[in-house]
Structure 1
């Protein structure tokens, strides 16, 4: 089993350009599928409900990116000027402060940075960055295509995957799919609510303190909150760094205090209420999953690792009988196009 697991993970890493968009599309589909199902129950055609939900998601993402771009453009000159002044202050502090650093050491460090910037290493890094940007664009397009088909034909895709199962195993597989979608959707929606609260309150604090680029930093806090335990804290540290450069140490200290207060309120009061059963795994498991995901796939792996671990644990509990359904398995809605199975007799052979 260990050999199969290692070989499988190695194989998935080799085709991560396909695997990562597939997992991201599955998570997004689980999060917005209730909207699609609600529109279908209201009489919308399946294609219209899918298209409306799909383009609504694109509009929201496009609006966020547009707001970030305009905010950065409007405050870029101010930030550059503040950064230049802040770096001058830091330079003066290093040169004249209590640290045992003389002028020659500072000049050596500056020359080392210049040599690195003009070396062949930077050129190869830039080429790697262009390749990564191309892979990102290809993955984004593939993500959108997979997401559309998951929303449109998800029930038929799941029914196709369930065709090898019969009898009690079919009931368990149906329950695994039902519970996995429940966990994924609850996790994404709950994390989005928590991330929105974090970003709004930290963004308000940044605006009150007069920190430049408050809106982009609030969006970074929102995105960072999707990485449990460390994401929001790292995003808050970035906001504090910008405040340190642009506004000085006192404002940076106030930003750190605001981030700590918001994170404490979110962790102790909001998260237990919003997440519920969606993330019922131990924090140590979350930490290990984060570490493994980051090693295997970087930032995207850190974002995907926790929901994947939660779904895997939920599937194991369903398959072993620890997570019993609220209703009898016979009453659970079977996926479309799947053959019904009874627990006491063998189902009829599938017809083409």
Structure 2
């Protein structure tokens, strides 16, 4: 099997993760912070060690763990105190974890949702956006750090500056970026930065969260915290008020070690080398439509289609005939397909590399696509 769906979840994981998860399941599978015994304290300390490490790597101030990036974005979006007629911007690259949640708020709170403008090359049109923000004064700006469709690295530093100039809350979805693409929350003026443990941090499923520099969110999730249990109100301070339920100490411990591995390796350079190589090869196949933009400003995510074929048919053939695993469809990104005009193909075929993808894997993919094209 050649696995090229790393934007969904990275696989394989670094060997250190498998080793540490085995240890954690045997030695840290206890209810962290819920018991007055050493094993519960050990589990709590494992979580806090991971929290401290990720805060330092993003230059944030604090961090809330959630079961996934989607849950993190829901906590943020539903925790913001929206009022009727508030203006909110998001990029056309947003995932449905942002788009659908904002749409629900739009219906209930009657906010106005606008898309950040793009240039013809599908990059963010910063000059137009700056002018629109001066006029519209958005309450919140949402922006993916990396597109899960094209691999484009969005200019979060410049967008953060625009947010600061207009007094806007700035939320960045780093699910496809954290660990691979650098971020500095203070310098980039980011209020909330969301991550998914099982993607670019090469960690286990079941853990994600958000880093923050300012936290004025309303509570949207309630439950036990292991403290002040007779009080029916949630705690008023500390991360614990945003982290009800039994914490995932096993996943947090694994995430610490996988994240440490990521930050010690130059994943981005490897992905870019493979992406540039693949684009060069695919440009020599006339039947292939590439949706790859901005070669010097992208990760190892590439979308394409084959003329005359639906994207899911291409993915099925790659799986059944060549044992190559890719993703086909709209990738939970509802807006960008209008810009790249991929709807006649039912979305795109998406290739997404990882640190463990080899040049031989890419050559096998290219050979398979050349065979498919001959049969069209």
Q: TM-score range by the shorter chain?
A: under 0.3
Please say which structure displays the higher CA radius of gyration: 1
Higher strand share: 2
Higher helix share: 1
Q: Could you state the TM-score of these two structures normalised by the residue count of structure 1? A: 0.23
